[in-house]
Amino acid sequence: MIDNNETTNRKASVVLLGIGQVGRSLLRLIIDKNNNTRDGALIDVIGVADSHAAVLEGSGLSEARLNEALKIKDAGETLEQMRGYLSLSEITAALSSGTIIVDVTASNNTASLLASALSHGCGVVLANKRPLATAWSMAKVFFSHPYVRYEATVGAGLPVISTLRNLLSCGDSFISIKGVLSGTLGYMCSELERGATYSQALLSARNLGYTEPDPREDLMGTDVLRKALILARSVGWPLETDDIDVEPMFPDSLSNITVDEFLSKIHTLDEEYARRTDEARVAGRTLRYVAKIEKTKAVVGLSQEERDSSLGALSGAENIVIFHTHFYDTMPIAVSGPGAGPLVTAAGVLGDILDLDVHMRRGR
């Protein structure tokens, strides 16, 4: 919890990596907060970076410069269009102790930069799951360092990680974790339940903007796998990718073809998923794409769930995470709500920035 007395007239210095949909939503939230702050907590964005270039000003980028960056990125251009841009390799050298590095990219290549930032006294806030889901030998620093926050990596703006941490800080221990962690696949399962075919459900999700440009990135379950790894590692279970069995929602035979070819063939999956949906219905159940996590293993894939259960009652793109702990044994804790979207994800990141800034000031 943030103490308002400690945030009064304080400025958090932030470097933002990534100005996609989440990054732009975050910048707009920061601009709005700075103009309408109620608690005196301000945020100086001293740097922004995309995959091509960075713009850095130690005294903080002005609102005009931030809006310039937003306009450029809204137009699909790179930060190389801005005057005084730096190369990405110059970011690390410019970092100073107390700065918060915010990673809202989808890059596999930020882990070493973030680890270096921590070693120089910086804080790290992540919406990017990849540094947390890489090999444990590289990822473990992000789970043990007090200056790291990553609420938005699981459930977007939902208080999943903070609930987990609160349980641990109270001395509770975990037995298992179960959840629906993909808004895209949750939506598809709801559509199948309503009677849509697989191809109809997928195309509907795509038209609504729920899927990646290549929907196989959602359907292969890799994103859910990463979230399962993050949850497991957060409770002290250092699982690796090989410890998790993942069931994709399409066959290998449709892997090595173009997106257009894939979309032209998805109707061939209609019969299989209609059969699986009917089997669940006959049993009084419904299909959900579920992650089931235990101390030494996890399973990610389609599961038949009771219709009136917490998972079975979900609709649309809702997420849910259920914590089965020793304190909450007979009635596990559930956190549910919208688990995707740029704005709610950005809100989760902003909350982490403010919380971490207070924590870092206490430590200095």
Q: Which residues are catalytic?
A: 227
Residues 357, 36 contacting (CB under 8 angstroms):
no
C-alpha radius of gyration, the chain, whole number: 21
> What SS3 state is found at 134?
coil
* CA 88 – CA 116 distance, rounded (Å): 14
Residue owning tokens 């910048």: 27
Burial string for 188-225 (b: 16+ CB within 10 Å, else e) reads: bbbbbbeebbbbbbbbebbeeebbeeebbebbbbbbbb
d(CA 20, CA 281): 40
3-state secondary structure of 346: helix
Q: Which two tokens stand for residue 327?
A: 């304190």
Give all strands (DSSP E) within the chain, no chain letters: 10-17, 41-49, 54-56, 100-103, 123-126, 148-149, 174-180, 244-246, 285-293, 298-306, 318-325, 333-338
Q: Which residue in this structure is represented by tokens 């009652």?
A: 313
